[in-house]
Amino acid sequence: GILEDYHVGKMVLMKVNSAAVLSSIPLQMVYYFNIFYYIFYFLVTFLMIIYKSQVFSFPDGNLALDLVLLILMGILEVTRLYHGFKGNLTEEAVPVVTNMVLTIGSMLLSLYYLLWQTYVLKADVIINAILLVIYGLEEVLDIIAVSSFARIYM
């Protein structure tokens, strides 16, 4: 009767309350750090492009290319982090995997600014190396998170 339903409901509630939380705290921390570092990265890279355009002569189209790729990288970063946050907090593998794929694009753009942009300064090398380390750490933590989500939910 009612008492039996109460006990069954209470057991279900207790079981739900004791369910393991699979969201990765270290991954979430890296995502948060990435937000602040990327804002710094974007502003410094933008200012360095402006500085280089005043000090050095750019071949036709290269200044525009560097600026357009930086804007695309910013859009990619927002999209990438949105999927990463969403996937980790909701414990869903698909958004985290989407984040992983988008991170490869971000890594390639970071490599562009590290190796192939028109003029590479020492500051470019430092800030892009740091960004690539953050991306690498994220990818490792993404793999761990996806494997824990898949183990439980699949």
Answer left, alpha or beta for residue 61, where phi above 0 means left and psi between -120 and 50 means alpha: left
Mean pLDDT of all residues in 65-74: 98
What pLDDT, in 10s, does the model give residues 101-148? 999 999 999 999 999 999 999 999 999 999 999 999 999 999 999 999
Which of 3, 23, 2 is CA-nearest to residue 141? 23
Mean pLDDT of all residues in 58-84: 97
What pLDDT, in 10s, does the model give residues 12-61? 444 444 467 789 999 999 999 999 999 999 999 999 999 999 999 999 99
Strand runs (DSSP E) across the chain, as ranges?
none
Q: What is the mean pLDDT of the chain?
A: 90
Calpha distance 149→154 (Å, rounded): 8
Contacts of 34 (CB under 8 A, 6+ apart): 81, 134, 138
Q: Alpha carbon of 88 to those of 19, 27, 91, 93: distances in Å?
A: 16, 8, 5, 8
Calpha distance 53→127 (Å, rounded): 19
Mean pLDDT of all residues in 9-13: 45
Contacts of 125 (CB under 8 A, 6+ apart): 114
Q: What is the Cβ-side half-sphere exposure of residue 3, based on CA atoms within 13 angstroms? A: 0
Side chain identity, residue 92: E
User: Which pLDDT does position 110 carry in this prediction?
Assistant: 98
